[in-house]
Structure 1
Amino acid sequence: MLYIFRGLAGVANGGIASLSMMIVSDVVTLQERGKYQGILGSMVGAGNAAGPIIASAFATHLTWRGLFYMLAPTCLLAFAASWRWPPSNMPKLNLKETVAKIDFLGLFFGTAAVILLLIPISSGGHVDTPWDSPLVIAMLTVGGVCLITFLLIEWRFAKLPMMPLGMFRNVSVSAMLGQSFMLGLAYYSYLYFVPLYFQNVRGKSALIAACLQLPMVVTQSIFSVSGGLYMSKFGRYGEVIWFGFGIWTLGSGLLIMADRNIHIGLVSFFLILIGAGTGCTFQPTLVALQAHCPKAQRAVVTSNRNFLRSSGGAVGLAVSSAILANVLKASLPPRLHSVANSTFAVRNLGSFSIADQDAIVDAYASASRAVFIWCLPVSAIAFLLSALIRDKGLVRKEEKVAGEQNKSDVADPAQDVEKATNVAMTDEKSGAAKGASAVIDTSGDHTRKPSLSIASRKSDELNR
């Protein structure tokens, strides 16, 4: 039951995440988008900061179900706000034709590929599911076939593909989509396994571990807004992306030093560097992606970027879990291998001798360090991909003209009349137009109304 309803929540979360970014891209120009996407990213960071603290408080003092009890009314409030305030301009479409265009085959095979590949990756190497077990091999094989089938459907058969492969022809777009996948690989691993490091290696409670992660997520919010403001002011995104992935890679390398003896303040400093990197990469890469795509393709590029980031997160958690479990078991003495069955939580250490307690904590420290080591090349690859991104700037003539047109739509009608009349009088003096006579263009295809007629109509409208 938990898996089913978590799956439904995931469907909703994926839609909300993509739609919120699409709405921002629709209502503001490309140059202003960095600022608003940065604010949106800061809200994600704030949620990542508050969520673990609230959840750990419920789990420690009440019940783990308490968080879900709190989320339900919160979601109802968000639903009511979405129903009340955002304007709806949904076009009238034929329902049958719209449903026929949905890529159901791609959705089925893509989902099957993700599930069948992630389950054996995350559970492989355990006592009941060794890597050479028929179940693991079968799931990896079928998952690989589903992945190839999904790519074939998107390439040749889907009327409206959920992942158009043509977008990968643009080198900059391909690089940023690759960065999104790498970003998910590393970021969600940190979000999940850093608190486990504080609990299992440093002996902190769940609530304290959540608080010790605040330097990363709070810094992420601050730099998300700062990076967005920089892009909006200077109309560039290359420097923000370079800085973000660079400082993230630096923080990832330094976090490898985290063991059971390092000062907590140093670990917090490393997390601040990682948080600054994530803040400068989450939303700026999205704005840069949209800058490299025509307006008609921005929705599909945005959704695919989020899909790859989420897929990277799922793969990253699966791989990190497998690394943690296998390194933990390999680091434990044979007499303590049963401890590895509790991969994500240290058993009651009081039931072990002092020597065994040290061995268990050292094993968890080695396992956590292995996860941090795996995240370093991931962030480094994302940093190197920045070299393939060409900064095209954020100022677009068509969007600027559209913005000016929007302003003119709400201008004072009297000013419109005065402007139109002045233009008409200037045209008359130059001999370009005479009274209310029509002006025929050189192609002879159609007749244009003179500017004086426009002024007359505006005057009549104003008088009415």
Structure 2
Amino acid sequence: MTVYFVGNLAAGFSNSIIQLIVCRGIAGAGGGGISSMLQIMISDIVPLRERGKYVGISAGVIALGYAFGPIIGGVLAEKASWRWCFWVTLPLSVVATIMAMIFAPFKPMSGGIVQKLKIIDYPGIVLTLGGCTLIMLPLIWGGITYPWNSVIVLAPLCCGVFVVVLFCLWEWKVAKLPIVPMHIFKHVTVVGVYICMFANGFVFFSALYYLPLFFQVVLGYSPTYSGTFLLPVVMSQVVSSLTAGLTVSHTGKYRTIVYTGFALSAIGCGCISIFNASTSKAVMVVLMLLTGFGNGMTMQTTTVAAQASVARKDMSIVTAVRNFVRMLGGAIALPVASSLLNNAIRDFMKNLGFPSSTISPVIDKPSLLNNPSAISSLSISPSQAADILSKGYTKGFRDVFLLNAAMSATATLMHKESSFGAVSSEISMKAFRPKKQTLNMIYTKLMYDDWLQVANESGSEFQC
């Protein structure tokens, strides 16, 4: 929480895009840790058979943040300053930290912090960041800033693939305490879950970004109203996530839930691809409800599936990697979707005979097409602007959601062929059911035992 607080505080004071990116990276490091620790705590404290209920509740709460965050951010950006979009999180961070200290206090453990820091897999972290960055940058540049066949695009892309391979070899053969132990990929279910969660992150984050953008660019809605119009996707996700979690806790089965969720997501995204300026609001709401409902059914039930297939000592790392893969899907989705959308606009405007000096500002800010003075300064007539929106931008938007539908359909097939099953009583019979002990006593003991095991297995000189 401290890292997240500092990152957002600094982001609000940024004076350049580089400063903003760095500060958001710091905040993201803190936020990623919070998300993973929440699920790790649930997996340590809650019996496996009941875990679906609690991961469903946590997913619902997170989805509420996704629902109201864009609305609050839109209001702050319009009425105050974009800086407040970061600063508004600060009091919430303080409150959350205080609540964590009260309800989940940590007892001091023996062993110095320096000794603990020594066994962290720093080379693995560097290779992960380097590989992801080298792969994502060419996806952003390709076809927009530089041609796809240019050295500037192909060289970092190839280097990124090489770094990813190097990372896998390092984690497999060298790292004493790897951040991604390669042995977890021996479980077919875990591999299936990771593929499914990559698709989930890809679909969810591209929809979260490009649906409001569609409402602003094509329909001319304000940022605040566009954020409000995203509520059907997110609120239906809240409902379905809670419902799926309770169902897993009650029945112990999740195969049908995950399968149905991805199928609904594929259908919903395919239908959303037909959105245009004349689509009725009622149709939009129904299709967004369908997509959100499907996404919610797959969001946390896959966590239970992965945890049920591995030993208890691997649950934490399997959960953390699951979160990483989902966020990686979202990170890759945005540049890929941006490339599809921007290339569609560029191709259409080139066919109309516009020069690059006119095309570039439109690609950078498509909402200019709704501004009469802006299109006049770019020598674009109102009828041409309408054509670019209805044919160029809408085609790119359609391509994005057809890709989302394909990702969800692929996840559906992967799930069908994997060994997803039911939560057996044998798996959960040793799970903790706190009675006289408090939750924080149990959690502290579990974390202490896990650290002993990890330290011993790593061969470190750490003494507890």
For 2:396 and 2:427, locate their aligned partners in 1 and report how far apart those are by CA, in whole Å: 53
Cα 1:303–1:402 shift into 2, 3 Å: closer
State the partner residue of 1:100: 118
- Quote the offset at 1:398 in angstroms: 6.3
Asked if the contact 1:259–1:369 (Cα under 8 Å) also holds between the matched residues in 2, the reply is no
Cα 1:95–1:58 shift into 2, 3 Å: closer
Cα 1:90–1:336 shift into 2, 3 Å: farther
Cα 1:171–1:265 shift into 2, 3 Å: same
* Matched-pair identity in %: 30
Asked if the contact 2:265–2:291 (Cα under 8 Å) also holds between the matched residues in 1, the reply is yes
367, 372, 383: which one aligns with 1:350: 372
Asked if the contact 1:106–1:154 (Cα under 8 Å) also holds between the matched residues in 2, the reply is yes
Q: How many equivalent pairs are there?
A: 408
State the partner residue of 2:396: 367
Report SS of the residue matched to 2:219: coil
Verify: 1:146 aligned to 2:168, yes or no: no
Amino acid at match of 1:346: S
For 1:173 and 1:271, locate their aligned partners in 2 and report how far apart those are by CA, in whole Å: 29
**What does 1:96-135 align with in structure 2 at a 5 Å threshold?**
96-126=114-144, 128-135=145-152
**What does 1:234-273 align with in structure 2 at a 5 Å threshold?**
234-273=251-290
Report SS of the residue matched to 2:180: coil
Report SS of the residue matched to 1:102: coil
Asked if the contact 2:187–2:310 (Cα under 8 Å) also holds between the matched residues in 1, the reply is no
State the partner residue of 1:45: 63
Report SS of the residue matched to 1:335: coil
- Quote the offset at 1:96 in angstroms: 4.7
Q: Deviations over 1:424-455 (max 9, x none)?
A: xxxxxxxxxxxxxxxxxxxxxxxxxxxxxxxx
Asked if the contact 2:139–2:335 (Cα under 8 Å) also holds between the matched residues in 1, the reply is yes
For 1:72 and 1:171, locate their aligned partners in 2 and report how far apart those are by CA, in whole Å: 41
Verify: 1:29 aligned to 2:47, yes or no: yes
Identify the range of structure 1 (91-100 vs 282-291) with the bigger mean alpha-carbon deviation.
91-100
TM-score, normalized by length of structure 1? 0.84
For 1:228 and 1:349, locate their aligned partners in 2 and report how far apart those are by CA, in whole Å: 46
Report SS of the residue matched to 1:112: helix
For 1:92 and 1:156, locate their aligned partners in 2 and report how far apart those are by CA, in whole Å: 30
Report SS of the residue matched to 2:429: helix
Q: Which residues of structure 1 form unaligned runs of 5+?
A: 411-464
**What does 1:306-321 align with in structure 2 at a 5 Å threshold?**
306-321=323-338
Verify: 1:61 aligned to 2:79, yes or no: yes
**What does 1:50-449 align with in structure 2 at a 5 Å threshold?**
50-89=68-107, 91-93=109-111, 95-126=113-144, 128-332=145-349, 333-335=352-354, 337=356, 338-343=358-363, 344-347=365-368, 348-351=370-373, 352=375, 353-362=381-390, 363-397=392-426, 399-403=428-432, 406-407=434-435
Cα 1:289–1:398 shift into 2, 3 Å: closer
Amino acid at match of 2:207: Y
Amino acid at match of 2:406: P
For 2:115 and 2:312, locate their aligned partners in 1 and report how far apart those are by CA, in whole Å: 23
- Quote the offset at 1:55 in angstroms: 0.5
Report SS of the residue matched to 2:268: helix
For 2:100 and 2:251, locate their aligned partners in 1 and report how far apart those are by CA, in whole Å: 32
Report SS of the residue matched to 2:402: helix
TM-score, normalized by length of structure 2? 0.84
CA RMSD of aligned residues (A): 1.9
State the partner residue of 2:26: 8
For 1:398 and 1:382, locate their aligned partners in 2 and report how far apart those are by CA, in whole Å: 26
For 1:52 and 1:377, locate their aligned partners in 2 and report how far apart those are by CA, in whole Å: 27
Q: Which residues of structure 2 form unaligned runs of 5+?
A: 1-18, 376-380, 439-464
For 1:63 and 1:95, locate their aligned partners in 2 and report how far apart those are by CA, in whole Å: 40
For 1:129 and 1:252, locate their aligned partners in 2 and report how far apart those are by CA, in whole Å: 30
Amino acid at match of 2:123: L
For 1:20 and 1:175, locate their aligned partners in 2 and report how far apart those are by CA, in whole Å: 22
Structure exhibiting the larger radius of gyration computed from Cα positions = 1
Asked if the contact 2:138–2:153 (Cα under 8 Å) also holds between the matched residues in 1, the reply is yes
Amino acid at match of 1:341: P
For 1:243 and 1:174, locate their aligned partners in 2 and report how far apart those are by CA, in whole Å: 19
Asked if the contact 1:238–1:390 (Cα under 8 Å) also holds between the matched residues in 2, the reply is no
